[in-house]
Structures are given as structure tokens and as C-alpha cells.
Amino acid sequence: MKRNSILAIHGFSGAGKSAAKKAVMEFLYDHKYFSTGDTARAFAKDLGMEITEYMKHARENNIPIDAKLDDSLKKLSTTDQKWVVDSRLGYYHLNFDSHGNQLKGSDKISFNVLLCGDSTLIAKRRWRQNRKDNYKKYKRLTIAQTAEMIRIRDKKDIEKYAQLYPETDCTDWKNYDLVIITTETSKNQTASDILRYYAMWQEGKYKRRLLIRGSITKYL
């Protein structure tokens, strides 16, 4: 079994990262959780700011917030602690050795999961959640408007990462060990699949795959 293993969960808006993280953490007792979003909020709290205020402050004052977050992420790979990580570029930043060389193949220390799905179904799911949570900012949006909001947000993120790290592409499925279409399966099934294949990867008995509806498997 790998000494220092990291389960890295990736995905864009509405893909189900939060639900997957919560479910798998109930079983991975020896793992700690790291989120770039939570880390950014901690940076904001240290300055007595809300996250939106802090992000605006960072932009206006040329504070390299992305670099700070990436450095925090990279440090995880130098510890003996096991982690569950929620990050858009975890597959990239978690796999460098102490000399700055990128780890590949069996040398990688992170099992990289990508959650994705049908954009219309994701928009419907987010729309229902917004209404349930009574978010004033989003409650009056239609499903089509919600879908467009998600599309624009994700497009901006993809463009930002491409500018910061042109050598990698977070939309390329080849960067991940497991791809799950979450709009075709339940939250419990998604978590079960992640835990199953993560355990196989730790044992060195894993082959990269795409899961659809939790039962149809295609090897990548």
C-alpha cells in the first residue's frame, strides 16, 4: 500500500464534489480533508473579510491568491498524512517530488477522480438546491439562466487555469484515474465507486476507467 496517498476529487460547478467528499470522509478515518475553497476562506478570515470581499481585495492589490493556494496544495504531498482533497488542479500540483520533477504512473501519490455530467441536469440540480436553500441572489433564476451562470463561471475558471498553467489542461480526461458521470448515478453509488477504486489503486491493482450509470465501464 502507498505510504502517502491522496484522494483528489475534481469537478466543476454542480458536479457533486461536496456530496462525494462528505460521503467518502465517513469511511476514510485516517484521512484529513483539504479544500482550496476553505483555504481561501481562511485567508479571508485572517483579514477579517468575507470571501467575496477578499477575492476583490486580492484582484485590486495584485495579491497572487492562486499561487498561495497552489503552494498550500503542494505542501500536502510532502507529509506522511493521508488526504482527501477538493481542488480543480489537484492532479497536477500534488504530484511533484522535492526537486520539482513531476511524478507519473505508479510514482504518483494522488488518485485523481473527475466528477462531471450533463450540463442541463446539473443546472436543474443546482436550480432546485438554490430554491431549497432560499438563496435570494439565485432564487428567481430560471433553469436556463442557472445553466448559463454555471457555464460562464466554469469558462472563466478554465481560461484562468490555462493562462496560469498552459502545460496542463484540467478538462482533459487523460489527467484523471477515474471519471464518473454523476448525473447518471446516485450520490451513494458515486461515493461507493470512489472508495472501491481508490482502495484498488492503493493496492496497485487499478486500471483507469470511465463510469456511466455506475455499471457501464469504459477504460480510458
Range 138-148 average pLDDT: 77
Range 168-193 average pLDDT: 89
**Portion of the chain with pLDDT greater than 70, in percent:** 89
pLDDT value of residue 136: 53
Range 69-97 average pLDDT: 88
> Residue 216 pLDDT > 60, yes or no?
no
pLDDT value of residue 185: 82
3-state secondary structure of 22: helix
Per-residue pLDDT tens digits for 5-34: 899 999 988 888 888 999 999 999 999 999
Helical axes 36-46 vs 51-60, angle rounded to 10°: 80
Per-residue pLDDT tens digits for 149-159: 888 888 988 99
Residues 6+ apart with CB under 8 A from 80: 3, 4
Q: Average pLDDT, whole number, for the chain?
A: 83
Which residue, among 114, 94, 117, 116, has the nearest Cα to 104 in the 3D structure? 94
pLDDT value of residue 220: 46
Q: Which of 64-73, 124-133, 182-191 has the lowest mean pLDDT?
A: 124-133
184, burial (CB in 10 Å: exposed 0-12, middle 13-18, buried 19+)? middle
| Ordered structural domains, the chain, with CATH | 6-33+82-219 (3.40.50.300)
